[in-house]
Amino acid sequence: IGVGLVGFGLFFLLFGILLYFDSVLLAFGNLLFLSGLVFIIGFRRTFTFFFQRPKLKGTSFFFGGLIVVLMRWPILGMLLEVYGFISLFR
């Protein structure tokens, strides 16, 4: 279930970007991706990964971008999410 949710999340993110940053598709893709991540590695591991002390800056940008996408500012939200994603995984 988790791999399917992550796959559909990535598909909706890519499709949302291809359709000129459609905010509904981007928001749906983000929510599917995060829920799939929870299904794959578990709630506790997901929580501890995102909320470690050195990763709080990346987490705040990633979730802030998600909130901005949900408020229908997709380009700014995706820029914030990409910066947060890079900051989380470097």
- In this structure, are 59 and 25 located in the same domain? no
- In this structure, are 67 and 83 located in the same domain? yes
- In this structure, are 73 and 46 located in the same domain? no
Q: What is the pLDDT of residue 14?
A: 95
- In this structure, are 45 and 73 located in the same domain? no
Per-residue pLDDT of the chain (90 residues; tens, 9 = 90+): 999 999 999 999 999 999 999 999 999 999 999 999 999 999 999 999 999 999 999 999 999 999 999 999 999 999 999 999 999 988
Q: Tell me the whole-structure pTM to 2 decimals.
A: 0.89
CA-wise closest residue to 89 among 24, 81, 15, 36: 81
Show the domain range for 61.
52-89
Q: Measured between alpha carbons, how far is 23 from 35 in angstroms, rounded to an integer? A: 18
The total number of structural domains that make up the chain: 2
- In this structure, are 15 and 43 located in the same domain? yes
36 CB-contact burial (10 Å; exposed 0-12 / middle 13-18 / buried 19+): buried
- In this structure, are 56 and 38 located in the same domain? no
Query: Mind listing the pLDDT tens digit for each residue in 77-86?
Result: 999 999 999 9
